[in-house]
A and B are shown apart, each in its own frame.
Chain A
Amino acid sequence: MLQSVSARQVLENTLIDRKSWRLQDGVDLRQLIDFERRSVSMRVLTDPEIHRLELKHIFAKAWIMVGHESELPEAGDFVVRYIGQDQVIITRATDGAIHIMLNACSHRGMEICRVDRGNAKLLKCPYHGWTFRSDGALVGAPFEREMYGDWDKSGYGLHRANVAIRHGVIFGSFDPEPPTLERWMGDFIWYFDQMYGQAEFEVLSGRMPRQTLKANWKIAAEQQSGDGYHAASLHRGLIDLGLYNNPSAPVDYGLDGLDVSTVAGHGLRINENAHAVLKIADQPEDFPIGWFVTGCMFPGVMVAGAANRGGSHYVSMALDEKAPIMRSAYLGTISPRTPDSYAMWNFLLVEKGAADVVREGMKKQAVSAAIGADDYVAWESVQRSARGYVAQERASLNYNALLGENRPEDWPGPALVHRGFSKDDNQWHFWLRWYDMMTADFA
C-alpha cells in the first residue's frame, strides 16, 4: 500500500508540469503556486479572473451541499439556496423526488422564487407567467396557444442540477456528467458516515440565517480542512474563558490529534478524546463522546460534530438529557459572492426524537460565537492584506510544515492519516485539489 507521502507526491508530480490558464496580464496560474516551497500567491484571494475560473471549474462542477431532506417534508416544499453564485431552487415533487434547478426563468431570466422557502405545487414566474413543475419542466404559459401556437415546451425547462442525497444531506452539481457522490467523496465518505450516518437526523432549524464575511471563500475553507496550529494562538481566549481542561499543556489545545487528508482535497481534524480537551458542562468523565471532528469537504462543505469511535457504540442524543452542545452535528456550506466575500449557511442537525432539552441546548450559540469571532477576525484581516499590489505580487500563504502519513495500526478509517502535532498536510491537499480542478482542462 502506498504511503501518503507517495500519494501526495504522485499528485504533485501530475500537477507540477501541467499547463494552466494565462491571466490577462500574462501571468500563468501555474506561477501562483510553488510546489517546492508549498506556497500560494495571495493574488488568488482577490483576482476577479481567478474568481470566475473558480466558478467555472470548481463550483459548476463539484458536489455542493445545499440542504437537508428534512427541510422539505411535504410535496411542493421548496427552499432557495446557492451553488457558487447561482441561486437554485430545491423542491420536493409529488412523487417524493428532490430536484434542484436554477432560479432563473428560462424565458427572460426573472427569479421565479423570491422568498427563502415556501410551498408551491407549480412554480410560476411573475414576469410573463411561465409555469414550471417541481422538476423544472415548463408545463404552461398564459395565452399559450395564441402566443406560441403548437409548440415544443421540452426545450424550455429550467436549468437543472444533478442531485445526490446521503443521510438526508442534499448535494447538487451542475457538472453535466458528474462522478457519483461516493466517488467524489472518496475516502472522506467513511468519516462523513461516522458523523451523519449513525442515526436519523433532522435539521433543528431548516431556516438557518446566512452569514457573510469580507473574505475570499478559500481562506475559510482551507482553514476548516485542517489548521490545528491556529488554536493555541487565535483561540487563546478559550483558555482564559476556562473552556479547556488542561490549559498548561499546549498540545491539549487541540494541536495534537489526528488529521485526515485526501487527494480529493477533503480534509478533517479529529480530537480523539474530545471531552478530555474541551470542558463540557455536566458531562461525566467516561461519557463515550468519542471524537470531535471539524473539517471541510472540498470546496466548501464544512463538517463538525461528534462521531462515535468507528461504529461500535453510538449514544442516542434522544436519551440523554445532559447532552452538551458539542454533540450537535453541524453542516455548513460556503458560497462565494465576490473575490472579497462569501456567504455561509449553517445547519444544526439533531437526532429525530431528541428530547426538547437537547434541542434547546443545541440552540445556544454563545460558545460557537466565541470561537467563530476569532476566526472571522483573522480571515477578514488576511483579505485586507491581499488588497495591495505588492501583497498580490510577492506575498504568499505558506504550508511549509508537513507531518506526513503515520497511520496508527489500529486506526479504523481510510484516507491519509497524520497522527500527532497538527501540521499543514490537510491544507496543502486543499490547494493541490484547487489547482487540479482549476487546470482540469489541461490534464
Chain B
Amino acid sequence: MRPNGAPGPANDPTVSLSLFERGPALNSAIDPICGEIINFLVREAEMLDEDFHEEWLDLLAEDLVYRLPARNTLSRADGRGYDPSHNLFDDDKASMRMRVKRSVGIAAAYDRDPPPRTRRMVTNIAVHVTDTPDEFFVTSYILLLRSRFDDVTMDILSGRREDVLRRTDAGFMLARRTILPDQSQFGATFLNVFL
C-alpha cells in the first residue's frame, strides 16, 4: 500500500481500494491533469457508443488487464460481494483484440449488426496520483443504457470503474480497468459489451 493509498502498476490491479484507503483525489480546479483525464474518458465513451471499436483498441496499453468480476448478494458482514474468482471479463490486449474483431471485424456478428444503440454516462470521476510518475488511478461511475430494435425500455448496466491511466507521448492509454458491477445478474446479451 502506498503512502497515499493508491495502487502502482506493480500492485494487484484487481484489488478494489475502498474510499478510505484511496487517499484524496486531485482537485480539478488546481490540477490540469484532471481535465485531460476527463477528456480522455469522455472521448473513450463516445468512441464506444458511436461504434469506433477498432479505434478504441488503440487506447488500450499492450500490458492491459481488463476485468469485470461477478457480484453476489451477501450478508453485510460477508463483504461487498465482488467475486474475482469468476470474472465476466478477464482480458489482456490479445483477447480484447479478439473480442473487438468478433464484434465489428467479421461479417457475421449478428449481435452487433444491426448495432445496438448505447449511451455511456461516465460520472463521479476522481483522479489520484500513483507512485509511478505518469500513471494515475482513476475512479468513475458508469451507467450504460442500451436500446435494440424496437425496445421501449432501455437495458441498463451500472457499475464503478477503477482504472490505471498511463500518460504516453501518444496521449493517455488504459493500462488497467476493473469494472465493479452493481448487478448480480446480467442479461446474457451484455457479455460482449465494453464498459
Interface residues of A, Cβ cutoff 8 Å to B: 114-118, 204-214, 233-234, 236-237, 240-241, 343-344, 348, 363-367, 369-370, 372-374, 376-378, 380, 384
Contact = CB atoms under 8 A, between A and B. Distances in A.
Contacts of B186: 209-212
Max count, chain B CB within 10 A of own CB: residue among A207, A209, A370: A209
A373 B108 CA distance: 11
A207 B106 contact: no
Nearest to A375: B188
B109 A237 contact: yes
B192 A373 contact: yes
B195 to A, nearest CB: 14
A348 B101 CA distance: 26
Given A208-B70, A376-B189, 10 more contacts: A115-B74, A116-B72, A117-B72, A204-B86, A209-B184, A211-B187, A212-B188, A365-B89, A367-B98, A374-B110
B56 to A, nearest CB: 16
Chain A interface, >50% SS class: mixed
A213 B97 CA distance: 26
B75 A370 contact: no
Contacts of B184: 116, 209-210
Contact of B149 (A205, A236, A384): A384
Given A213-B189, A240-B106, A370-B102, A363 B90 contact: yes
A205 B191 contact: no
17 contacts: A115-B72, A115-B73, A118-B74, A211-B185, A212-B185, A212-B188, A213-B188, A236-B106, A236-B108, A237-B107, A240-B101, A240-B107, A240-B108, A366-B95, A369-B99, A373-B189, A374-B108
B108 A116 contact: no
A384 to B, nearest CB: 7
Interface residues of B, number: 38
A205 B83 contact: yes
Interface string B81-96: 1010111111100011
Contacts of B78: 115, 118
B18 to A, nearest CB: 21
B70 A373 contact: no
A241 B87 contact: no
Given A207-B83, A209-B185, A363-B90, A237 B102 contact: yes
A212 B187 contact: yes
A116 B106 contact: no
B97 to A, nearest CB: 10
